[in-house]
């Protein structure tokens, strides 16, 4: 039986245990939803055998489900449904039909079909629903570092050699506020949709994840100027493996392979772990997609689900 509960009504320990055992992404944890969502609730199956987070907004008395910034994909998080004695998790359509009717619109990104993601393929949607497929890339880290490097594409190997020839080094001596400042300086002009609230959320996510032991900061730097990062990244520790959440480069780093060195350092650190994946979190941007594929990452599509109960009511409402 599926029941909807608001976040204040949810048994957070049971919810988070379900998200952890699902072996998927970290976006579904209650603490993470608190940080990125205006409001959230969720559908619960059985005794938290499966959960479906639903972030929502309200304007002028209208409520709708949305995909927050910094939350690439949600969907169903299920404990091991194949275990003996456990009921089968409901199909996608049943979950969608159980979303309360007070939500007049849905634009929600949900997980794909690989790597223990529990949505079935092909995706079966109820009447009135549609979906848009989007690309994501992930790298299986089961092999040792040297074996993983043999799968790097030529351009990735070239950039790694550039960084090494330039004498760049990597370490974890990067504070969240420092990475945020680099993001604002070098990415901010390209991301006008991000305002003060979004930058505050970026900082809060990094700080809270690190305080929980669920984050890794890596920077690339020139030892001649050790106080200045040329590239930096924050990886969130998800049940499935590291998730690249935030990062940026300086103009100089675009010429010397600094970000390639950052990802290589993470891959070396996490390599040789069966069932662990590096999630690159996208992207539909061709240049970024090529960069991620250059490490040997495979494409894992996910979907954004759309529904409108009264479409004219939402004319003029944005994200």
Please tell me the number of Cα atoms within 13 Å of 219 on its side-chain side: 20
CB atoms within 10 A of CB 290: 13
- For position 121, what pLDDT does the model report? 59
Instruction: Look at residue 113 and tell me whether its pLDDT is greater than 50.
Output: no
Q: Are 209 and 236 in contact (CB under 8 A)?
A: yes
Q: What is the mean pLDDT of residues 250-260?
A: 92
Alpha carbon distance 309, 105 (integer Å):
6
The alpha carbon of residue 244 and the mean position of all alpha carbons in its chain are separated, in whole angstroms, by 7
Q: Is 241 helix (H, G, I), strand (E, B) or coil?
A: strand
Instruction: Look at residue 1 and tell me whether its pLDDT is greater than 90.
Output: no
Could you list the beta-strand ranges (E) of the chain: 2-6, 39-45, 50-59, 62-66, 77-78, 103-110, 129-134, 137-140, 169-171, 215-221, 229-238, 241-249, 277-279, 298-299, 302-308
Lowest mean pLDDT among 87-91, 97-101, 169-173, 202-206: 87-91
In the chain the domains, ranked by start, together with CATH numbers, are 2-134+301-314 (3.40.630), 138-299 (3.40.630.30)
Q: What is the mean pLDDT of residues 106-114?
A: 78
CA distances from 173 to 159, 169, 176, 245, 318 (A): 22, 11, 10, 18, 39
- For position 114, what pLDDT does the model report? 37
Q: Are 240 and 23 in contact (CB under 8 A)?
A: yes
Q: What is the mean pLDDT of residues 169-173?
A: 97
For residue 140, what is the DSSP state? Answer: E
Q: What is the mean pLDDT of residues 282-306?
A: 93
Q: Is 186 helix (H, G, I), strand (E, B) or coil?
A: helix
Vertex 267: Cα angle to 265 and 269 (nearest 5): 70
Instruction: Look at residue 215 and tell me whether its pLDDT is greater than 70.
Output: yes
Alpha carbon distance 12, 178 (integer Å):
32
pLDDT bin (cut points 50, 70, 90) of residue 311 is: low
- For position 27, what pLDDT does the model report? 97
- For position 160, what pLDDT does the model report? 97
Alpha carbon distance 96, 316 (integer Å):
25
Alpha carbon distance 262, 245 (integer Å):
13
**Residue 131 burial (10 A CB sphere; 0-12, 13-18, 19+):** middle
The alpha carbon of residue 283 and the mean position of all alpha carbons in its chain are separated, in whole angstroms, by 11
Q: What are the tens digits of pLDDT across the range 2-51?
A: 999 999 999 999 999 999 999 999 999 999 999 999 999 999 999 999 99
Alpha carbon distance 265, 216 (integer Å):
11
Q: What is the average pLDDT value for the chain, to the nearest integer? A: 91
Lowest mean pLDDT among 7-21, 164-178, 183-197: 183-197
- For position 10, what pLDDT does the model report? 98
**Residue 286 burial (10 A CB sphere; 0-12, 13-18, 19+):** exposed
Q: Are 50 and 57 in contact (CB under 8 A)?
A: no
């Amino acid at each position: 039986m599926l029941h909807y509960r608001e976040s204040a009504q949810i048994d957070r320990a049971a919810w988070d245990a379900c998200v952890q055992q699902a072996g998927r992404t970290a976006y579904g944890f209650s603490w993470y939803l608190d940080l990125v969502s205006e409001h959230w609730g969720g559908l619960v199956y059985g005794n938290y055998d499966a959960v479906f987070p639903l972030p929502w907004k309200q304007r002028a008395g209208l409520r709708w489900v949305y995909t927050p910034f910094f939350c690439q994909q949600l969907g169903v998080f299920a404990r091991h449904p194949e275990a003996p004695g456990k009921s089968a998790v409901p199909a996608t359509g049943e979950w969608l039909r159980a979303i309360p009717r007070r939500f007049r619109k849905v634009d929600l990104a949900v997980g794909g079909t690989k790597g223990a993601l529990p949505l079935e393929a092909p995706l079966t949607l109820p009447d009135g629903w549609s979906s848009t497929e989007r690309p994501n890339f992930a790298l299986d880290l089961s092999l040792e570092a040297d074996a993983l490097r043999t799968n790097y594409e030529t351009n990735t190997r070239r950039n790694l050699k550039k960084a090494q020839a330039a004498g760049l080094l990597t370490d974890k001596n990067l504070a969240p506020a420092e990475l945020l400042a680099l993001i604002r300086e070098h990415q901010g002009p390209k991301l006008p949709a991000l305002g003060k609230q979004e930058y505050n959320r970026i900082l809060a996510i990094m700080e809270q994840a690190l305080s929980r032991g669920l984050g890794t900061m890596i920077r690339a730097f020139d030892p001649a100027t050790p106080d200045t990062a040329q590239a930096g990244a924050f990886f969130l520790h998800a049940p499935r493996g590291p998730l690249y959440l935030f990062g940026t480069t300086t103009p100089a780093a675009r010429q010397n392979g600094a970000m390639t060195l950052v990802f290589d350092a993470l891959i070396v650190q996490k390599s040789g772990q069966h069932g662990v994946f590096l999630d690159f979190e996208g992207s539909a941007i061709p240049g970024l997609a090529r960069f991620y594929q250059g490490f040997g990452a495979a494409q894992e599509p996910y979907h954004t689900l759309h529904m409108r109960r009264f479409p004219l009511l939402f004319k003029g409402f944005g994200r």
